[in-house]
Amino acid sequence: MTRRPDAAKLAPPVNHSEFHILLALADHERHGYGIMKEVAARFANTVRLGPGTLYGAIKRMLASGLIEVSAVRPVAKNDDERRRCYYRLTSLGRTVAAEEAERLAALVRVAEAKRLVRNQVPSVAGGAS
C-alpha cells in the first residue's frame, strides 16, 4: 500500500517507535511519561520506550509535523504539573498513523495467507489510558 501523495511529501516514513507514539496519542493528549506508560500497558510491558528513544522520536516528529505541543493543559484533577508539555497528533500525524496501520494490516494478511500467524492476537483496544 502506498501513501497518499500529500502525506508522502510532507512526512518521512515512521519507524516502530514513532508508530507506537502515534498510537499512544491517537485517543488522548499525553506527556512524555504518559506516552511511555501507554505503550508499555498496551503491550503488556513487552514493548518499552526508553527516555532517549522516546524524546529523540518526539523531536523528529515535532520537526516533521506529525505531532505538536498542546496549548491546552488537562483539567487540574487530571494534570500533572511536573510535566512540562503535552503532545497531540496533528491531522498529518493521524493520516500517517492510519496509512501505516493499513500497511501493517496488509503485511499481516500476507503472513496469515502463508500460515505464519499461529494464534489471533487479542485486541488491545481497551488498554490503559
**Residue 119: inside a domain, yes or no?**
no
**Residue 56: inside a domain, yes or no?**
yes
Q: Which amino acid is at 2?
A: T
87 pairs with which residues across the strands? 30, 69
Residue numbers of the domain that contains 65: 5-113
**Residue 122: inside a domain, yes or no?**
no
- Say what the pLDDT of residue 125 is: 53
**Residue 63: inside a domain, yes or no?**
yes
Q: What SS3 class is residue 20? A: helix
- 129 pLDDT band, cuts 50/70/90, is very low
Mean pLDDT of 49-54: 93
- For CA atoms 38, 19, 10, 95, the dihedral sign is negative
Q: Report the percentage of the chain scoring pLDDT > 70.
A: 74
pTM as predicted: 0.76
Closest by Cα among 100, 127, 125, 106 to 18? 100
Closest by Cα among 129, 108, 127 to 119? 108
Q: How many domains does the chain have?
A: 1
CATH code of residue 14: 1.10.10.10
Residue 63, judged by CB atoms within 10 A of its CB (0-12, 13-18, 19+), counts as exposed
**Residue 127: inside a domain, yes or no?**
no
**Residue 90: inside a domain, yes or no?**
yes
30 φ, ψ to 5°?
A: -145, 155
**Residue 121: inside a domain, yes or no?**
no
pLDDT tens per residue, range 58-90: 999 999 999 999 887 655 555 556 657 899 999
- 12 pLDDT band, cuts 50/70/90, is low
Q: Check residues 29 and 126 and name the one with the higher pLDDT.
A: 29
Q: At what angle do helices 91-113 and 16-25 cross, to 10 degrees?
A: 120
Q: Check residues 113 and 45 and name the one with the higher pLDDT.
A: 113
**Residue 118: inside a domain, yes or no?**
no
Cell triple for residue 6? 500529500
Q: Report the percentage of the chain scoring pLDDT > 90.
A: 57
